Amino acid sequence: MSKERILIVDDEESIREFLEIMLRREKYEVATASSAKKALKILEKENFDMVITDIQMPEMNGIELLGKIKDTDSDTVVIMVTAYGSTESAVEAMKLGAYDYITKPFKIDELKIIIKNALSANTLKQENIQLKRALEKKYSFQNIVGSSPSMLKLYDMIQRISQTKSNILINGESGTGKELIARAIHYNGPLKDKPFITINCGAIPENLLESEMFGHKKGSFTGAIADKKGLFEVADTGTIFLDEVGDLPLSIQVKLLRAIQERTFRRVGSTQDVHVDVRVICATNKNLEQEVKKGHFREDLFYRLNVIQIMAPPLRERKEDIATLALHFSEKYSKELSKDIKKISKEAMDVLMAYSFPGNVRELENFIERAVALEEGAAILKESLPPQVQNAMGAKSTLMDIGAIKLGEDKINLEKIVDSIEKDLLTRALAKTNGVKKKAAQILGISFRSMRYRLEKHDME
């Protein structure tokens, strides 16, 4: 790491020399100037992390110098030096942006601490600014890839609703990027500097969900050894994202409704109301209107959440984005895995375009990450993709040809056609369940034993 640089400005040579020697011993890079005008000339050519300047100087005093420094670079830390007993000017300087002031004669240990704390605080501030910029870039539209008509409509919708605080419901199949959309809404709006908190409603056991969302008091249940804030409280002034909200148990739905309607809730075991101001964004892969009709979801809560609805389009409905997404993920994982992948071969791209992607963008990303990890050359080849993708074109063409088969005097190979259909359905079922054979068997309406037999028959084990 480079040394932090400090400029000392004082018309007294003895003070300049004293500070220079002391700071060099502390491993700082130091430059000096005998007047404010000379300091400004130095600052025009060089960058400094800190300026330590006397207030009382001829021609231009330290307050004027402070103003010019802040006009040029507001991030430069400025510490004022003043004579003992005359702190009014120093207080004025702090109102104008000075970090702190020190009085003559110096207490060396105190001076060292002030300088160290000021530089540490500035470093932390810069890191926070860079982190926020990185987050904004990550969750800006640049990170939601696609130029199909449905995606252009989505970008327009995000841009418009990000400026409001209305509740939003994002509908879409698994893997369509619902959380990414929620983050883009947050980070492109006025709440971007506020918290963004995520709760996966389907991943937390019901007996822990209320405590996770709304917090608890010490002793309210076994294991509650201390007071705990809920995530709604942590998200105060910002956004809370309820992923898979359709999986919320009815008992929690009642409490969520109150939290949204009245902006208040109670921690588990508490009688005190907690007031919050949060924007609620929800996502689900279920049809909540159907869930309401079945009695699985409260109608009043549905209407509270469904102020603005967004549909995350499945990948099969925006095939023109597959190539763009594949190249995007190829570049991403090439960097992460230190590979030199330059392109995707035509054969590989053809089978990707033919595949139905039941797992949507997440499935495509997984395929490309796998291919990049396996690939040894400069291009992703068809052979580096999973078997269900490699077979996509053949299965598709076979199924398309079935309707064109004419039954006449010529023989057809019924077994071959049936095998082809069976293999295609097995492949698609496994893709939909991420390779979980038991679930794939349930989708196909066959037993697990039958599933294993058919996989062995088609050499798919």
HEC profile of 31-70 = EEECCHHHHHHHHHHCCCCEEEEECCCCCCCHHHHHHHHH
Closest CA to 64 of 73, 53, 75: 53
Looking at residue 30, the DSSP 8-state letter turns out to be E
Q: How far is CA 281 from the centre of its chain?
A: 15
Q: Which fold has domain 145-313?
A: Rossmann fold (3.40.50)
Same fold, 5-134 and 145-313: yes
Backbone angles phi, psi at 320, to 5 degrees: -65, -10
| pLDDT of res. 300 | 95
In the chain, where are the structural domains located? Answer: 5-134, 145-313, 315-387, 391-461
| pLDDT of res. 92 | 80
d(CA 70, CA 89): 17
d(CA 379, CA 72): 49
d(CA 353, CA 359): 14
User: What is the residue type of 77?
Assistant: V
d(CA 193, CA 128): 10
| pLDDT of res. 228 | 87
d(CA 430, CA 69): 64
The superfamily (CATH) of domain 5-134 is Response regulator (3.40.50.2300)
| pLDDT of res. 310 | 95
CATH of domain 391-461: 1.10.10.60
CATH of domain 315-387: 1.10.8.60
| pLDDT of res. 398 | 47
Q: How far is CA 455 from the centre of its chain?
A: 39
Q: What is the pLDDT of residues 50-69, one digit of tens each?
A: 999 999 898 899 999 999 98
| pLDDT of res. 360 | 92
Residue ranges in the chain whose pLDDT is less than 50: 1, 397-401
* CA–CA distances in Å: residue 397 to residues 151, 166, 390, 403: 28, 47, 13, 11
Q: What is the pLDDT of residues 105-139, one digit of tens each?
A: 878 888 898 898 888 888 777 776 666 656 555 55
Residue 190, CB-side half-sphere exposure with 13 Å CA sphere: 9
